[in-house]
Amino acid sequence: MKQLFILIFCTLTLPVLFFAFASPDVKKTDPGLLYSKQAMERLKKEIEAKNKNFDATISHKPYLPLPQGTAYYLAVEGAKVARIKKLIDEKANWREVVALLDAQEKADTVYFIKYKSDKQVRFYPVDFEGDRYTPITTENVADYTQDLTGSWVYSYGEKTNYSEESIVAMFVQSELKPQPLSLPATTCIRYTDHLVDTNTTIFTGRVTREITSNYANNPTIDKLITLAHDFPGEPEWKENKSDSYYKKYLQDYEKWQEARRRNVDEKLSKTTEFKTLLQKGYEEVRSSDSVHHFAMDEFESYVEKYISPSASLALKRKRLVVGGCSMDTGPIIHAINIARLAGETCCMEIFLRSHLNILNDRFSRVSDGSYAEPGRETYGRELEFLGTRLEWLIPGTLLTSRNLADNHYRGDVNRAGRAMAELEGRKMIYKNIEGLIRDNSLDLYNRLILVFLAESYNHSLFANKQTEEAKNNLKVLQDLVTSFPTYLGTPLKKSIASVDPKVKN
């Protein structure tokens, strides 16, 4: 029980304790915002200049939708597979094959999209029930652009000691031929690339993947941290389950941390040992691709304060923090500090990418459970405060095309919807989302993505007690999907209805 309580304590308090220690300006930040007032004002001017230079009325190139279509679908394992595979290889029609299938082994119409890698094409049936359909992989890259209407694609698995012979197949009914993305959708993608430079990456060189539970060692940094921590009076933690003790301990620990910071400043002004170790450690880390340490965040905070913020940012961009578990805040702390330092040193492109990673929770973790997700804030208000055109940026990170820029920023539907619901200007942003869903010239897949975004948004409105607003939005959304083909419109209406917590599935 004691270990569990300490783990929870560390998880909940580490961000507060670290930012109080590492970021001298954090207490000067506007209420509720992550970054210093100075950094936000500087970034706001850069965003204003970017917005002024963006023309939403033009499109420099057409964005082509992903290949997509409809198909019959089957998934079979066991004794029937050999016969079914033989029929498919002989190019039998669907009627011949479907006669061999049980009801649970087939689907009359599925909507699919295609993705291409260097040597494979993957067919993804859109699955409203979560695990009914399995993607199909083919080795013929020409399948990506060819019209496969009337053809079979399948993935086959041989019998092993652990599994039966299996086959997953689709008989393509129709390859849809949507036109290039409409100007409103194109504007969203262009604005995203205009704001989040596709030629810039957060991390540089051969990035160290640093799992927070497994660190290397550096003797110089060891000595520096030992010297910094050589300060008496740390409050003693005692097992006590009362809230009042917990709060008092946090207050005492923060006071001790503040006294220790002042002690470090005093050591710097009176001794050369700390300065020498700091400079030596900085040079070692800067010149190496792999040196890291259990206290790198603390070490980089000293570099920031006593060498320069830009030097600290350069070190942070050399390592990618991987979470040790669902409750590990290390990746988020690292991203926030990169964004903060980028904001303070006028590296807007790095700031936006890192902050969008926080908003979209785009981090690597050894393991991750859904129970941890509610505690991870989106911090969308920072982008709203800066004057970002979120009615373009949010859909621009979600809309997709076969010819997006290689480093185009890609968002997460669920996190984006949650972030939108927390914004003061949410209604204006959502109105643009509704307009894109209403646009029949936009391909089905992109409209479908935006319906999922709308569902996430309204789910978050319910969670935020904005019940009437969410109910009205869902009524409109139900009307909007009537223009979708039946094979999408019917499951979408059911899915939209389920967003209301009072609707029983």
Q: What is the pLDDT of residue 352?
A: 93
Instruction: Tell me the average pLDDT across 209-233.
Output: 77
Average pLDDT over residues 149-154: 96
Asked if residue 331 lies in contact with residue 365, where contact means CB atoms within 8 angstroms, the answer is yes
Over residues 394-407, mean pLDDT: 95
The CA distance from 467 to 474, in Å, is 11
Q: What are the helix (H) ranges across 237-295?
A: 243-270, 273-287
Residue 433's identity, in one-letter code, is: I
Q: What are 428-443's pLDDT values in tens digits?
A: 999 999 999 999 999 9
pLDDT at 28: 41
> What are the tens digits of pLDDT across the range 473-501?
999 999 999 999 999 999 999 999 999 99
Name the residue with tokens 């067919």: 123
348 and 403 belong to one structural domain: yes
Task: Indicate whether 30 belongs to any domain.
Answer: no
Q: What is the pLDDT of residue 389?
A: 97
Burial of 451 (0-12, 13-18, 19+ CB in 10 A): buried
Of all residues in the chain, the percent with pLDDT exceeding 70 is: 89
Task: Write the secondary structure of 199-243 as one string of H (helix), E (strand) and C (coil).
Answer: CCCCCCCCCEEEECCCCCCCHHHHHHHHHHHCCCCCCCCCCCCCH
The pLDDT assigned to 304 comes to: 92
Cβ 454 vs Cβ 473: under 8 Å: yes
Among 8, 24, 65, 7, CA closest to 304 = 24
**Percent of the chain scored above 90 by pLDDT?**
58
Q: What is the mean pLDDT of residues 90-116?
A: 94
Q: What pLDDT does residue 502 have?
A: 84
pLDDT in tens, 330-367: 888 889 999 999 988 878 889 999 999 999 887 877 76
Residues 184 and 77 placed together within one structural domain of the fold: no
What the block records as the tokens of 290 is 């792999």
Average pLDDT along the chain: 87
For 420, the domain range is 38-64+179-204+337-364+373-505
Residue 8 CA to chain centroid, in angstroms? Answer: 24
Residue linked to tokens 């040597």? 119
CB burial of residue 239 (10 Å; 0-12, 13-18, 19+): exposed
More confident residue, 329 or 280: 280
Alpha carbon distance 53, 139 (integer Å): 44
Q: Which residues on neighbouring strands pair with residue 138, listed in sequence order?
A: 121
Return the pLDDT at 210.
Answer: 63
Q: Is residue 434 assigned to a domain?
A: yes
The answer to whether residues 421 and 464 belong to one domain is: yes
User: Are 499 and 459 spatial neighbours (Cβ–Cβ below 8 Å)?
Assistant: yes
pLDDT of residue 10: 39
pLDDT at 235: 85
Quick one: 124 and 53 in the same domain?
Answer: no
**430 and 462 belong to one structural domain:** yes
Would you place residue 30 in the very low, low, confident or very high pLDDT band (cuts 50, 70, 90)?
A: low
**Contact status, residue 72 vs residue 107, Cβ threshold 8 Å:** yes
Using 50, 70 and 90 to split pLDDT, how confident is the model at 238? confident
The whole-angstrom separation of Cα 103 and Cα 76 is 11
| Nearest-angstrom CA–CA distance, 188 and 431 | 14
Whether 7 is covered by a domain: the verdict is no
Q: How far is CA 200 from CA 197, 276, 349, 352, 406, in A?
A: 6, 34, 7, 11, 11
- pLDDT score for 328: 78
Counted domains in the chain: 2
Q: Are 353 and 482 within one domain? A: yes
Looking at residue 504, its pLDDT comes to 60
pLDDT value, residue 446:
98
Measured CA to CA, the distance from residue 280 to residue 489 in angstroms comes to 64
Q: What per-residue confidence (pLDDT) applies to 17?
A: 35
Sorted by sequence, the CB contacts under 8 Å of residue 243 that are 6+ apart come out as none
| Residue 472 and residue 377 in one domain | yes
Query: Quick one: 410 and 492 in the same domain?
Result: yes
pLDDT tier for residue 245 given thresholds of 50, 70 and 90: confident
At which of 176, 192, 214 does a domain end? 176
User: According to the model, what pLDDT value does residue 145 have?
Assistant: 93
82 and 188 within one domain: no
Nearest to 109 by CA among 155, 173, 167, 154: 173
Residue 468, domain member (yes or no): yes
Q: Is residue 488 part of a domain?
A: yes
pLDDT of residue 20: 34
Do residue 135 and residue 190 come from a single domain? no
Q: What is the mean pLDDT of residues 49-74?
A: 94
pLDDT of residue 132: 86
* Tokens 């039998």, residue located: 92
- Could you tell me if residue 386 is inside a domain? yes
Distances 342 to 36, 143, 219, 345 between C-alpha atoms, Å:
12, 43, 29, 5
What is the model's pTM?
A: 0.86
Q: How many CA atoms lie within 13 A of 33 on its CB side?
A: 21
Helix (H, G, I), strand (E, B) or coil at 121: strand
The per-residue pLDDT for 273 is 87
- How does pLDDT run across 180-219, given as a tens digit for each residue? 999 999 999 999 999 999 998 888 866 666 665 555 678 8
Indicate the SS3 state at residue 364.
Answer: coil
Answer for the pair 324, 212: CB distance below 8 angstroms, yes or no: yes
Give the list of residues 6+ apart from residue 280 with CB closer than 8 angstroms, or none: 220
Residue 205 structure tokens = 């060189």
User: Assign residue 140 a region: left if phi > 0, alpha if psi is -120 to 50, beta otherwise?
Assistant: beta
355 & 431 share domain: yes
Phi, psi of 173 (to 5 degrees): -75, -45
Over residues 272-299, the pLDDT tens digits come to 888 899 999 999 888 886 666 778 888 9
Nearest alpha-carbon partner for 329 in 379, 258, 377, 381? 377
Task: Kindly report the number of other CB atoms within 10 A of residue 28's CB atom.
Answer: 12
Same domain assignment for residues 117 and 191? no
The confidence score (pLDDT) of residue 307 equals 93
pLDDT at 18 over 50: no
Provide mean pLDDT across the span 363-384. Answer: 79
Confidence of residue 136 (pLDDT cuts 50, 70, 90): very high
Q: Above 90 in pLDDT, residue 91? A: yes
- Tell me whether residue 233 is exposed, middle or buried, using C-beta atoms within 10 angstroms of its C-beta: 0 to 12, 13 to 18, 19 or more: exposed
Q: Which residue has the higher pLDDT, 271 or 121?
A: 121
Task: Classify residue 380: in a domain, yes or no.
Answer: yes
Distance of alpha carbon 376 from the chain centroid:
12
* Domain-embedded: residue 316: no
